Amino acid sequence: MSIPFLATEGDFSSNTEYLQISTETAAILDDMRFFFVALIKHIDHSASGQEQIRLITTATWIRDRITSLPDVSAADSPLAADFTYKSCRIAALIYCKAIISRTSLSRICNVQDLNQLWANMWQVKLSRWKQMPGIFLFVILSALSAAEAAPHGRFMKSMFKTTSAYIGLEHFELVDAALTAFVKMQRWLKSGERGVERLEKPVPLNFIHIYER
């Protein structure tokens, strides 16, 4: 049930065997968790100019770390058939691009990103994603808003709702906190596009499927 949007006592790298993921996949998820937690702290208080620079520098450093990992374009790569790794790598780079440029996910996730993510994430069986729903949610949310007008957008939205409900049945507080953090990030990204400051008293969070509107 672990979700990269939230801090936790353990890390993905310590649970690769249990989760049946590669060390490279775990490294991506741990890096993104570290950054998401820092970003939400940044959003929740009025950060100084120096802190904002530090945030973008950290995002750039993490993006470069992820980019340096194998892109598995070569068929003989050990990770060539690891579609969980490929999906997490693409999703993480989408998040990084959005944060570095302070651009909403719906704008930053282009057709190429969406098609690559779609082609790789559905190479993983749903029964396998069900074993790691927090990771699946992380992947889906990176492209959900960009896919809204695409032919497969409805299916992705359905998978988002199903996955959220599945986690929430046993750990409602977990999925609630994760989606709240995600909405905060989306609002912060959109406020950067408009060139306005974060609202001191934001309007109540609406259900996640309308977070972009």
Q: pLDDT digit string (tens) for 47-61?
A: 667 777 888 898 999
pLDDT on residue 53:
82
Are 134 and 1 in contact by the 8 Å Cβ rule? The answer is: yes
Averaged pLDDT, 184-206: 61
The predicted-structure confidence for 110-147, as pLDDT tens digits, reads as follows 889 999 999 999 999 999 999 999 999 999 999 998 88
The overall average pLDDT reported for the chain is: 85
What distance in Å separates the CA atoms of residue 128 and residue 211, rounded to the nearest whole number?
Answer: 28
Concatenating the DSSP letter of every residue in 84-117 gives HHHHHHHHHHHHHHHHHHT--HHHHS-HHHHHHH
Q: What is the pLDDT of residues 75-99, one digit of tens each?
A: 677 888 999 999 999 999 999 999 9
Q: Global pTM?
A: 0.86
